[in-house]
Structures are given as C-alpha cells and as structure tokens.
C-alpha cells in the first residue's frame, strides 16, 4: 500500500498506489512506453532510465542492455517494481504517444509476402517520418511494432507495409484475418529513428524488404521540401518477385534531379530480366558512392544488413553520429 511518486523527465509527476511494475504504472497514467511482449522481458523495447538508481538490472534484462546503458541506469520498465518514489527519464517523444483506433480502409498486396494496409483515424495521428506505431493484435496479449510508411502530412491515414513472417502470429493476423472495415487499436507514434528535417547533408538511404516502409515516409517528406539536398535510395531485394514500388521511385527520380533510386537484386533468378544493379547491397552501395564524410544515412532492414552497411558507410568516411538506423 501507500502512495508513490514517479517523476518523469524532471517535471512531470504521477502518483500511484500499490506496487506494480513501472511499465503498468505509467500505462495506467497514460504514458505509453513502447512494449511488444506484454511485460515478459522478451522484446526489450520498454526501456527507460532510472535516475539515482540503486539496484542492478535483473538477469532477464541483461540481453537487452548495453554496458553503457547499464552504467547510466537504463532498465526495462516492465521489470522494475515501483516500491518507493522514483525519478525516470524517457525520450520526450514518448510523452505524445497515445492510443488510437484505426479502421482499415485499404489493403494492397505489394509482393508475394508483403502487404500495405491503410488506416483511417478519427483524430489526428501525428508522427515524424521514420517513426513506428504499435498494433494490438486481438487474441494475443501483446502489440507489434511497424514502421509508418505514409506521408506525415496526412494525419488521418497512416499506412504500414508488413511482411508475412513464417510462423508469426501477428503478421499472419494482418495478412490473413484483417479485413477492410475492421477497427483495431493502434498506439504511437514511437521511435528515435526519423529524418533530421533541418539538416542540409546529402542523404543515403538503404533498405531491404519491408524496411521500405519508413524510407517511403522519409522520401515523402523530402519531396515536400522539394528535395533540396541530394538523396540516394538503395533498395535490396533477393529476386524480382521481392521488388515493389520500382517504377514509383524511378518516376520520382525523373521528377527530382537530386533524387536517385538504385534497386538491386542480390540473387536474381535466370528468368529475372534485370538491367539494373546486381549483387549484395553493400557492394552496390560501395560501387555507387565516393567520399561520404559530409553525408547522413538512414538504414532500415535486418540487423545483419544494417551492420554490414554501417561498415561500408564508415569506410567511406561517414561519421557514426550521422548514421541513423532501425533494425527489424
């Protein structure tokens, strides 16, 4: 029993009674940290920083925390019981996150395993190009995170691009069960991966598979700004049947001389007629770029792809602080 205070980012105080996890206490007070495993310490997304912490992280948290994070007091909020007054730090964008209801108004099959879903919201859903939302999947207690693929000017119609993951409950639901007219719970927007809108540096974007999603949103924004800086988008696919939006981005490249689109196939099939680039995306990036010390990059895809691309970008002189990425 008793009351406890949680002070958030120095000036925001919520009072709770009873002992619960910090994640639940915050959610009950309408502060939504990302979380996609229902508090089971398997997603690692619900991080916050405990200011003046005394107790080390639990073994369950260790796989998700770097050494530096542990030293700074970063914890998984679902593993922290609030037993006394605490003071925490969360990314400022978290304070704008809230739950919404989204009605499915469009579904489009983009490839054999990738689909686009467009929602309609009753109220404005603000986000920065690159950020993600969480979808609550009925029947399972957890949410799943998906990058927003649409134009951030359109506050009422966020879109997601989702690949069907073999054996994945959530993506199976979205691909097989979700129908036009259905309404589902959406929380957002989350994430520190977004376009640095004020920057003047030329941009390198690299994506694979459904990593296309946040990059598409970023390109909408760059078009909105009339493409004031050079921007090159590399998209890696295995075979021709894994490609989508090819003409769409090639057309944008025709309209904006500053924009270049370089799709590449890593393992084209004999029947894939393909005149554009071939090879691993890292080799393609290497071939098409020179000194990148003044550029910034946005990467989205599998952890393996991202790590390999970061290496190439650094080889070409790009400083680490200008490499932004979102690992799927």
> Footprint of ligand FES on this chain (CB under 6 A)?
23, 35, 37, 39, 41-46, 76, 78
Of the pair 39, 209, the CB lying nearest ligand FES is at 39
Of the pair 46, 243, the CB lying nearest ligand FES is at 46
Of the pair 61, 151, the CB lying nearest ligand FES is at 61
Q: Minimum distance between the CB of residue 33 and ligand FES, rounded to whole angstroms?
A: 8
Q: Minimum distance between the CB of residue 97 and ligand FES, rounded to whole angstroms?
A: 14
Of the pair 123, 141, the CB lying nearest ligand FES is at 141
Q: Identify the CA nearest to 173 among candidates 148, 147, 208, 143.
A: 143
Of the pair 76, 174, the CB lying nearest ligand FES is at 76
Cβ-Cβ contacts under 8 Å for 29 (sequence gap 6 or more): 6, 14, 16
- Alpha-carbon span 239 to 26, nearest angstrom: 45
Treating both helix axes as pointing N-terminal to C-terminal, what angle do 212-224 and 246-255 enclose, rounded to 10 degrees?
20
CB 165 within 8 A of CB 200: no
Question: How many Cα neighbours within 13 Å face the side chain of 57?
Answer: 26
Of the pair 91, 202, the CB lying nearest ligand FES is at 91
CB 253 within 8 A of CB 279: no
Q: Minimum distance between the CB of residue 99 and ligand FES, rounded to whole angstroms?
A: 16
Q: Minimum distance between the CB of residue 140 and ligand FES, rounded to whole angstroms?
A: 13
Q: Minimum distance between the CB of residue 64 and ligand FES, rounded to whole angstroms?
A: 7
Provide the 10 A C-beta neighbour count for residue 83. Answer: 10
Of the pair 31, 114, the CB lying nearest ligand FES is at 31
Of the pair 62, 276, the CB lying nearest ligand FES is at 62
Strand partners, 263: 235
DSSP state of 81: B
Positions of E strands within 18-131: 47-51, 74-76, 86-89, 98-109, 114-121
Q: Minimum distance between the CB of residue 35 and ligand FES, rounded to whole angstroms?
A: 3
Report how far Cα 297 is from the mean position of its chain's Cα atoms.
15
In degrees and rounded to multiples of 5, residue 2 shows phi and psi of 85, 160
Q: Minimum distance between the CB of residue 63 and ligand FES, rounded to whole angstroms?
A: 10
Q: Minimum distance between the CB of residue 3 and ligand FES, rounded to whole angstroms?
A: 24
Provide the 10 A C-beta neighbour count for residue 287. Answer: 11
Dihedral of the alpha carbons of 141, 194, 324, 327, in degrees to the nearest 10: 20
């Amino acid at each position: 029993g008793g009351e406890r205070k949680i002070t958030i980012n120095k000036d925001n105080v919520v009072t709770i009674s009873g002992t619960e996890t910090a994640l639940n206490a915050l959610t009950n007070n309408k502060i939504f940290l990302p979380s996609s495993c229902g508090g089971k310490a398997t997603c690692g997304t619900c991080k916050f920083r405990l200011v003046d912490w005394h107790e080390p992280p639990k073994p369950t948290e260790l796989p998700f925390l770097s050494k530096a994070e542990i030293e700074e007091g970063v914890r998984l909020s679902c593993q922290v019981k609030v037993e006394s007054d605490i003071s925490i730090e969360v990314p400022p964008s978290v304070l704008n996150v809230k739950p919404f209801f989204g009605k499915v108004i469009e579904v489009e099959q983009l490839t054999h395993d990738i689909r686009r879903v467009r929602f309609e919201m009753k109220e404005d859903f603000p986000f920065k190009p690159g950020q993600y939302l969480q979808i609550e999947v009925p029947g399972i207690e957890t949410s799943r995170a998906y990058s927003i693929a649409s134009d951030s000017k359109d506050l009422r119609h966020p879109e997601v691009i989702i690949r069907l993951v073999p054996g994945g409950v959530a993506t199976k639901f979205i691909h097989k069960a979700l129908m036009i007219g259905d309404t589902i719970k959406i929380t957002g927007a989350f994430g520190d991966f977004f376009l640095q809108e004020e920057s003047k540096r030329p941009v390198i974007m690299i994506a694979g598979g459904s990593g296309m999603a946040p990059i598409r949103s970023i390109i909408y924004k760059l078009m909105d700004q009339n493409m004031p800086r050079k921007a090159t988008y590399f998209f890696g696919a295995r075979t021709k049947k894994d490609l989508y939006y090819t003409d769409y981005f090639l057309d944008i490249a025709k309209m904006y001389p500053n924009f270049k689109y370089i799709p590449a196939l890593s393992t084209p099939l004999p029947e894939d007629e393909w005149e554009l680039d071939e090879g691993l995306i890292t080799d393609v990036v290497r071939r098409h770029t020179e000194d990148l010390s003044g550029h910034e990059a946005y990467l989205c895809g599998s952890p393996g792809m991202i790590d390999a691309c970061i290496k190439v970008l650094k080889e070409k002189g790009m400083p680490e602080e200008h490499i932004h990425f979102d690992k799927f």
